[in-house]
């Protein structure tokens, strides 16, 4: 986990990574299908595998192999590390959002269940217009989302009041973690959501359909004067 000196306001927007900030599904599914091909198994349909991408290596391996074991997960991660930013890109309007947050002197950060090694590599290859104030990864603390410990660590590290933090994510566990941490939440519907899931049932404070609407959601919550 990392942070930089707080030179902006004591307000922050924390984001999930995969399916919220960055569209990583193309490379995750590519890596899964490379692994399936290696084992002479049928390739996973992109549309189905995309919606499983939010559940990371375990979810994707389980989808493709109908089972999960550490050996397969290790193989998948090795392939993914070498294909982590082939087609992955920021969702539309994310850099514009980060620029607008900066114009309001609002910090931003990442709280993800993705392992540190993969997160660092991905962020180093993605062209972010504004660098995050903090990044907390899934293997850096004893628990991870839906447990609130990662979010609590981030706001404590930067000395942020809970009323001055919003968490944005595309999965139920994101909203559960934010609510358990005592902060406001925004659910995004453009991410990796299974067909039987409805973000409107997650009890987020705001639900939005596209990244360009995140700033509107933040304003609706009274976060920006």
Residue 2: what pLDDT? 54
Task: Tell me what the pLDDT averaged over the chain comes to.
Answer: 95
16: tokens are 């999930």
5: tokens are 């000196």
CATH 3.40.50.1000 location in the chain: 2-23+89-220
The CA-based angle 220-222-225, given to 5 degrees, is: 115
pLDDT in tens, the chain (225 residues): 654 444 457 999 999 999 999 999 999 999 999 999 999 999 999 999 999 999 999 999 999 999 888 999 999 999 999 999 999 999 999 999 999 999 999 999 999 999 999 999 999 999 999 999 999 999 999 999 999 999 999 999 999 999 999 999 999 999 999 999 999 999 999 999 988 999 999 999 999 999 999 999 999 999 987
Compute φ and ψ for 64, nearest 5 degrees. Answer: -75, -35
- Each residue's pLDDT tens digit, 37-62: 999 999 999 999 999 999 999 999 99
> pLDDT over 70 for what percent of the chain?
96
Report d(CA 47, CA 192) in Å as an integer. 10
Residue 1: what pLDDT? 66
**Among all residues, which ones are annotated catalytic?**
16, 18
Using the Cα atoms of residue 39, residue 79, residue 48 and residue 139 in order, give the sign of their dihedral: positive
Residues near 215 by beta carbon (within 8 Å), at least 6 away in sequence:
97, 100, 101, 224
What order do you get walking across the sheet with 184-188 strand by strand? Answer: 2-3, 134-136, 107-111, 12-15, 165-169, 184-188, 206-208
Report d(CA 177, CA 126) in Å as an integer. 26
Report d(CA 46, CA 36) in Å as an integer. 13
The CATH number of 2-23+89-220, from 3.40.50.1000, 3.30.1360.40, 3.40.50.2000, 1.20.1050.10, is 3.40.50.1000
């Amino acid at each position: 986990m990392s942070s930089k000196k707080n030179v902006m306001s004591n307000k922050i927007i924390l984001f999930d990574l995969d399916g919220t900030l960055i569209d990583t599904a193309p490379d995750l599914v590519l890596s899964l299908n490379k692994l399936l091909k290696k084992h002479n198994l049928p390739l996973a349909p992109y549309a189905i595998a995309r919606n499983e991408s939010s559940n990371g290596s375990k979810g994707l391996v389980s989808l493709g192999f109908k089972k999960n074991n550490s050996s397969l997960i290790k193989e998948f991660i090795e392939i993914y590390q070498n294909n982590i930013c082939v087609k992955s890109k920021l969702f539309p309007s994310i850099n514009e959002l980060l620029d607008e947050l900066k114009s309001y002197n609002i910090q931003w950060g990442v709280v993800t269940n993705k392992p540190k090694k993969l997160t660092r590599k991905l962020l180093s290859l993605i062209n972010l217009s504004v660098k995050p104030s903090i990044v907390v990864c899934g293997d850096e603390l004893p628990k991870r989302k839906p447990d609130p410990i990662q979010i609590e660590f981030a706001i404590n590290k930067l000395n942020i009041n809970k009323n001055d933090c919003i968490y944005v994510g595309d999965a139920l566990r994101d909203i559960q973690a934010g609510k358990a941490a005592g902060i406001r939440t925004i659910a995004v519907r453009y991410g990796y959501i299974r067909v039987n899931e409805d973000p409107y049932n997650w009890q987020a404070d705001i639900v939005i359909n596209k990244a360009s609407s995140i700033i509107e959601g933040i304003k609706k919550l009274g976060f920006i004067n």
